[in-house]
Structure 1
Amino acid sequence: MVADRRAGSAGGLGLGLSGGELMALALGAGYFNQLHFSAEALGIEISDAEVDVRVDFDGDPLRVAGATVDVRLAVEGSEADKARLLEHAERESTISGSVVNGFPVSISQG
């Protein structure tokens, strides 16, 4: 995987994902995977799932101001099963749970 900046921005060549795009990817992939782990744990079969993520930035210096995870989900079961699955996945998601609860970041020189 290549991380880069937009072409022409701080020497970037536009060859890879930006840090913000990688954050959105981590949120989306983590939640998508958790949906499947949760479905298995609850005995619910997913027939279709799609996750889109939008990360909003604000301020100077630029910081993440929020993120929205949009889930389109179809299950073999009732609407109650679907709601139970979504609730379980949100509660158990490692990535989004870590971001929501916050965690310290330490930057050191190797």
Structure 2
Amino acid sequence: MVSVTVELRNVEGTRAALGWAGGHTIVVDRPQGRAGGQGLGFNGAQLLGLAIGGCFCNDLHFVAAEMGVELTKISISVRVELESDLSFTKAATVTVSCETSDGSDPQPVIAEAKARCMVHNSLRRGVPVTVEAVA
């Protein structure tokens, strides 16, 4: 089994968090004025959208390389729809456009990336999440 661990810690003097994995970092916060948020970073819905779209973007590149196709332009937009109380996501829609260097139809690459996308597959199947408090 392969696993990935990310870490988050509060940013002193704010109510934001700094998250990291390896040498990569990201700031997580709430919108300005919401529960002490200062809008210093991405909120949960934005992070979910970035995970959905970012994973799909990466898989487009993996699949294209395996198929011997060069993608020259990729555009992905993710719309995350939340329940009115913001307690869960009702739906997410990914809109993708890409072009190949030889002008061939990119649909086979898109279809295979859709079938393989780890984040999409995980969300569709439901991922158990356990929260464990430690002293």
Query: TM-score scaled to structure 2, two decimals?
Result: 0.75
State the secondary structure of the residue aligned to 1:14: coil
Q: Name whichever structure is richer in helix by fraction.
A: 1
Report the Cα offset of residue 59 of structure 1.
Answer: 4.5
Amino acid of the residue matched to residue 7 of structure 1? Q
Amino acid of the residue matched to residue 104 of structure 2? S
- Determine the structure 1 residue equivalent to 2:33: 8
Report the Cα offset of residue 78 of structure 1.
Answer: 2.5
1:38 aligned onto 2:48: no
State the secondary structure of the residue aligned to 2:76: strand
Q: What are the residue-to-residue correspondences of 1:1-110 with 2, within 5 Å?
A: 1-60=26-85, 62-75=87-100, 76-79=102-105, 82-110=106-134
- Matched-pair identity in %: 34
State the secondary structure of the residue aligned to 2:36: coil
**Higher RCO by CA contacts (8 Å cutoff, separation 6 or greater):** 1
Q: Deviations over 1:5-64 (max 9, x none)?
A: 011100111101001110001111100010000001111111211111110001446210
- Quick one: structure 1 residues 78 and 14, their matched pair in 2 at CA, closer, same or farther if it must change by over 3 Å? same
Farther-moved stretch of structure 1 (85-94 vs 57-66) = 57-66
Query: TM-score scaled to structure 1, two decimals?
Result: 0.91
- Quick one: structure 1 residues 71 and 43, their matched pair in 2 at CA, closer, same or farther if it must change by over 3 Å? same
Write the distance in 2 (CA, Å) between the matches of 1:61 and 1:43: 42
RMSD in angstroms over aligned alpha carbons? Answer: 1.3
State the secondary structure of the residue aligned to 1:13: coil
- Count how many residue pairs are aligned between Structure 1 and Structure 2: 108
Are the equivalent residues in 2 in contact too, given 1:44–1:77 (CA < 8 A)? Answer: no
Report the Cα offset of residue 108 of structure 1.
Answer: 0.9
Runs of 4+ in 1 over 4 A off after TM superposition: none
